Structure 1
Amino acid sequence: MPAAASNAIKTYRMMEYVRRFTAEPAAVQQLVLADPGQFFIVAVEQLYPLFTQAVPPSRATGHSLVYVTSGQARMSIGNDSYTVGPHEMLIARAGQVYSFEPGDMNTGFVCHFHDAILLGQAAPADAQVPFDFLHFWGRPVIELPAQTAEFVGQLLHRLLVEYTTHGLTYPAVVRAYLLALLHELNRAHSTDEPAPLTAAAALTNHFKHLVASSLKTTHRVRDYAEWLNISPNHLSKCVRRVTGKSPARWIEESIVLEAKVLLFQSKWSVGEVGAAVGIEDASYFSRLFRKHTGLTPLAFRKRHTPS
């Protein structure tokens, strides 16, 4: 089995993000108080209108929860796009690649938090939060039953009141409400899980895990098939059946997605970006990037660089 590849792609802290993508950074700073990398919560209808341009693929250091009470919210997470409406929670987990377009009309809450706010200062350095839905490689949407949605809405409102009144002056209070919220979501996630996965779906999920951890060093379908102890042909049939894409296409799209993040969040040259996603030939990297985006790497970077 492959070792996990090192992650060269940096992650954004909240105020870097705000300065780059909102028309009114000062307005956001009034909503997002001290140390937003640890925790913040704002009303969707106050935050979303301040984003006036598309946010390209990015990573953040914490988890983001988007809960809609009316309207809808759209976001791309990984290689897939999602739309959520009332009584649905959309989760962008820490380290996941996500992007979104402006223009959604909705109400609700955006809650962002780092693992550290849950674990506290006394937690061991290698401690992990005890919620499967924050680690699970799967659909990042939790559909909430009516009663649970009511509880979740109340908890988010109470967190918003606490945060706007006191910021993080009383972290134990914030942690208590946040833990209650996450326990409600975890219970809903457990009951919302689909029927047991078919063999093809389970194999495809395992393939996605391997691609995510080994993308920098391994691009050949036959290597992934070997790690899974199956033939390349069987892997291809399973992945196509579940995703509608071939394993090679999935790998290529994952390479391009990683490259988009680097082009946006770093100042590396095209050759350095290509090498970081495992392609040493800068010319081949540029051709692959253009094949999937219609843009050269430099044109993509220029499009998402403020003038």
Structure 2
Amino acid sequence: MTLDSPHRLTLTPIAQTRTQSRWRFEAMRAHSAPRLIFIARGQGRITVAGLTAGYGANNLIYVPARVMHGLEVGPTVFGQMLTIPAAMASDWPDAPVHLRLRDVPVQKQLAGHLDALERELSSDLPGHDRAALYQLGLLSIFFDRQMQARPAEAVDRRADTAAARLVAAYTDLIERDFRSAQGVAAYAAQLGVTPTHLTRCCKATCGKSALRLLNDRVLHEARVMLRDSKTPVNRIAAGLGFGSAAYFTRAFQSRTGLTPSAFRSREGGAPGFEARSLTNP
């Protein structure tokens, strides 16, 4: 079951508010369409493919489709997250990119692109949907030019280490198989390493154990399904590889402090993000 649409162009604000839970950004997740994250102010950490890095104001972070990531959002952080339709993913890089835009003229140029895109997404004028997609195309050209202008910082060199490559491969396997109820030992065996070595590498690259990364991904999917669907709890449990609804409920409550039903009631009644979006024809 896929709850995020790979066909929608969406611009969503990033901010911590009293009505929005931190898991909406911070929990490990992946999407079927790419994401472009712009941090306008504040600072924190982001983990992409098992590699954690700091971010600050005027940072632009691209996350390809099906790449696990989580973004820490503190009370001073504000930004925007752009969902790129899968049909336009070929205009964007194949690997994660983290750009730090230090030049004021470049920052203003980016702000202009995002403002123009938001205007079209908010408009009801004829052709606004095509105009928004054209604005997205211009933004992709801007992004490509910034990558070419600063190639040394576009890709985190730490990703070339053996530990980072192993953890990236592990997160890829998690994203593919997290519904299968496999444990860390099974993933480690597929990667040709011991669970101890895998956990050591995970802690070195992102400060989390291999089990924590796996559990975070499963828990995020459970939260999304509880929030965005009416699927019965026992079917959610079965779909995520739990042997019974009771076991799923105990595991969920131990991590969140709420039963699945209580979580659904709380999150279903809370205001959502005011995202601007359109469906790619």
Conserved? CA contact 2:91–2:140, under 8 Å: no
Cα distance in 2 for residues equivalent to 1:184 and 1:53: 38
Aligned partner of 2:156 among 179, 183, 194? 194
Conserved? CA contact 2:225–2:236, under 8 Å: yes
Cα distance in 2 for residues equivalent to 1:105 and 1:228: 37
The answer for unaligned runs of 5 or more in structure 1 is: 1-7, 14-36, 119-127
Per-residue deviation, 1:259: 0.9
Per-residue deviation, 1:91: 4.7
Conserved? CA contact 2:228–2:268, under 8 Å: no
Alignment partner of 1:153 is 2:116:
no
Alpha-carbon distance change, 54 to 160 in structure 1, aligned in 2, over 3 angstroms: closer
Conserved? CA contact 1:61–1:114, under 8 Å: no
Highest Rg: 1 or 2?
Answer: 1
Alignment partner of 1:72 is 2:42:
yes
The answer for unaligned runs of 5 or more in structure 2 is: 271-281
Alpha-carbon distance change, 295 to 185 in structure 1, aligned in 2, over 3 angstroms: farther
TM-score (norm 2): 0.70
Per-residue deviation, 1:231: 2.2
Per-residue deviation, 1:200: 1.6
Aligned partner of 2:3 among 3, 10, 14? 10
Per-residue deviation, 1:53: 2.0
Cα distance in 1 for residues equivalent to 2:218 and 2:241: 8
Match of 1:222 in 2: 185
Moved more, 154-163 or 173-182: 154-163
After superposition, where does 1:115-130 map in structure 2 within 5 Å? 115-116=86-87, 118=88, 128-130=89-91
Alpha-carbon distance change, 75 to 38 in structure 1, aligned in 2, over 3 angstroms: farther
Match of 1:288 in 2: 251
Match of 1:89 in 2: 60
Match of 1:142 in 2: 99
Alpha-carbon distance change, 110 to 275 in structure 1, aligned in 2, over 3 angstroms: closer
Cα distance in 2 for residues equivalent to 1:289 and 1:241: 27
Per-residue deviation, 1:206: 1.1
Conserved? CA contact 1:144–1:188, under 8 Å: no
| Residues 151-194 of structure 1: CA deviation (Å, up to 9, x unaligned) | 43343345456665762354674354233233235447843222
TM-score (norm 1): 0.65
After superposition, where does 1:264-303 map in structure 2 within 5 Å? 264-303=227-266
